[in-house]
Amino acid sequence: MRLNAVWLWLIAMALAQGGPTYTVQRGDTLFSIAKRHDTTVEILMRLNNLSEATLSVGQVLQLPPRVVQHTVQRGDTLFSIARRYGSTVQAIQQENNLEGTALSLGQVLRIPQVSVAAPPPPPAPASPNPAPPPGAAANLVNSTPLPSPTPPQPTPEPAPQPQPADTDYDPTHPLILVVLKYLGLPYVFGANSDRAVDCSAFVQQVFAEVGIKVPRTSREQWGAFTTVQGAMRQGDLVFFSFGGRQIDHVGIYLGRGVFAHANSYGSRVVIESLDSPYYKRVYRGAKRVEALSATQP
């Protein structure tokens, strides 16, 4: 799960507008370019979606994001530092080999800078019989946390299936830009702060940053907005039931079949695929925040 999250971050960085690039010159190889820019051939191939090492003169390659240095001051947290520099908690942890979120006064951190980034493409399809699924039950406030997910009880009507719409995709969508700043923020049941959130608090905070007020809990959010008919759009809320018929989890659809959510099993905000067999099984529908459409040009 940790490695997958690293690659999700790297791919998102590759799509960043204004990120560092390199134009291939005669005689260049992936190895020589990687060595010159302090990276690896594997990272260059993943960032640029290359299936082989062949390069063409004039080809433009995305490079890993630039970094700046920050000296920790009193009151700094990884989340506040990430937001100040337009980075993410997880990116800073990876860059500095940090196991947790504790910081020391005077500590010097390398900060990978994130510009305007698009969501990553969906992860590879999961195996037909996955192990206990990562990213399963971030729970509603005042509900009982689930130590391990169990399939929901049969309902009278078949559950709806997610209907992603790849054609309705804009990498500069304001909600996506906000979501990327939250990646890696710790999940804590019932939390609602700049240090930790639960699933519905994450949704509430993201929408608040674009000037839209939404209810606090996932069930209230489910009841407050219009049911999506047909294909989903970026910014639609996607809802799940890990414990049965009641709504107990929510995320934000980003386009290209992926959604962001505060994930109790991963213990942080992550981006995952709606095509996962597990999420398809517990998916209960999508709702549209009409006020979001009004903010779009």
pLDDT per position as a tens digit, 44-85: 777 788 877 788 999 998 887 666 788 888 888 887 887 777
Q: Quick: pLDDT tens for 52-63.
A: 778 899 999 888
Residues that are catalytic? 199, 249, 261
* Per-residue model confidence (pLDDT) at position 222: 96
C-alpha pair distances (Å), 244 with each of 129, 153, 169, 225: 21, 5, 32, 21
- Which residue, chain included where needed, has tokens 């209907």? 163
Query: 268 near 184, Cβ under 8 Å?
Result: yes
Does pLDDT of 279 surpass 80?
yes
C-alpha pair distances (Å), 257 with each of 38, 127, 161, 202: 33, 17, 12, 19
pTM over 0.85: no
CA distance 65 to 228: 37
Q: Quick: pLDDT tens for 1-17.
A: 444 544 555 555 444 44
Three-state DSSP at 262 gives strand
Does pLDDT of 134 surpass 80?
no
Does pLDDT of 294 surpass 50?
yes
Q: Kindly report the CA angle at 247 between 244 and 248, in degrees rounded to 5? A: 90
Contacts of 237 (CB under 8 A, 6+ apart): 203, 221, 222, 225, 250, 251, 252, 253, 286, 287, 288, 289
Q: Are strands 258-263 and 249-255 parallel, antiparallel or unpaired?
A: antiparallel
* Per-residue model confidence (pLDDT) at position 168: 62
Lowest mean per-residue pLDDT among 128-132, 179-183, 224-228: 128-132
Query: 16 near 181, Cβ under 8 Å?
Result: no
CA distance 117 to 129: 33
Beta strands in the chain (DSSP E): 21-23, 60-62, 67-71, 108-112, 226-227, 237-240, 249-255, 258-263, 268-273, 283-288
Domains plus CATH for the chain? 67-112 (3.10.350.10), 118-297 (3.90.1720.10)
C-alpha pair distances (Å), 106 with each of 83, 109, 287: 19, 9, 46
Average pLDDT for 172-187 = 88
Q: Quick: pLDDT tens for 188-237.
A: 989 999 899 999 999 999 999 999 999 999 999 999 999 999 899 999 99
